[in-house]
Amino acid sequence: PGWVFYALVGLFLALCVATAFVSGERQPDSFAPRALAMGIVVVGALVSVTLHEWAHAYVAYRGGDASVVSQGYLTLDFRKYAHPLLSFGLPILFLLAGGLPLPGGAVWIDRSALRSRAWGSAVSVAGPLMNLLNGVVLLGVVRSGALGDNWLLSSALAFLGFVLVVIVILNLLPVPGLDGYGALEPWLPAELRNALAPVRSWGMLILLLLVFQTNALGFMYDWSLSLATAMGVDPGYIGLGSWLASPQLNR
């Protein structure tokens, strides 16, 4: 890991510690709690995206693609993962606006260098599995009661864990351009892969239209909430975290 990753993790931990000095105020609508909650969610999302993309690159490296080393993908530096604005800026903006938590980030894998189709599927699945691990760990920390009466940190981490699980479900949809399709693609007939190739760049746009025009993807939030409640996390924490960390325009 380079200094950028260590700085991100350090900032995330510092924000978490800072909540201990604010949570005693019992005024969730004041500036400090909301600023800290937003900071925890934004920085936590950056850390998670970094780990997500690193997981793709690491599994690709183990599968035979040595190009990920020269491209710096194994350094855990989020600046290496595609365009800073399009891959990180816009997804975070959508998240703060209370909208669809876009995955963000991208690594370019030389799939022709992978040793088998199974490795190709494993590369695609590795990122979402990393998100799932991060989300479950965060929800588990909240459920454990280790945070005591720090309602601010509990709500921010609960919402962040909830969002990460939503991203897992989104990413695993079999839509060209997402990891779910990437896991299936090596096993599809060449004719079908070629026919769907032009759709890759439009997959996310199609999902955005579904989100804003219909409730077709509402199940993602329901499934994520079901997992959190099954783990024993109070849904009230998730709701409060969403309210604190997402300064939607209609508020």
Kindly list the distances between the CA atom of residue 200 and the CA atoms of 180, 194, 196, 203, in Å, as whole numbers in the listed order: 12, 11, 7, 5
Contact indicator for 51, 137 with CB cutoff of 8 Å: no
Output the DSSP codes for 172-224: TS--TTSHHHHHHGGGS-HHHHHHHGGGGGGHHHHHHHHHHH--TTHHHHHHH
CA 58, 93, 137, 32 torsion: positive or negative? positive
DSSP alpha helix (H) spans, 64-101: 67-70, 84, 90-96
How big is the CA angle at 80 (ends 79 and 85), to the nearest 5 degrees?
50
Q: Is 25 a catalytic residue?
A: no
CB 49 within 8 A of CB 164: no
107 CB burial (10 A radius; 0-12, 13-18, 19+): buried
Catalytic option among 25, 53, 185, 191: 53
- The catalytic site residues sit at 53
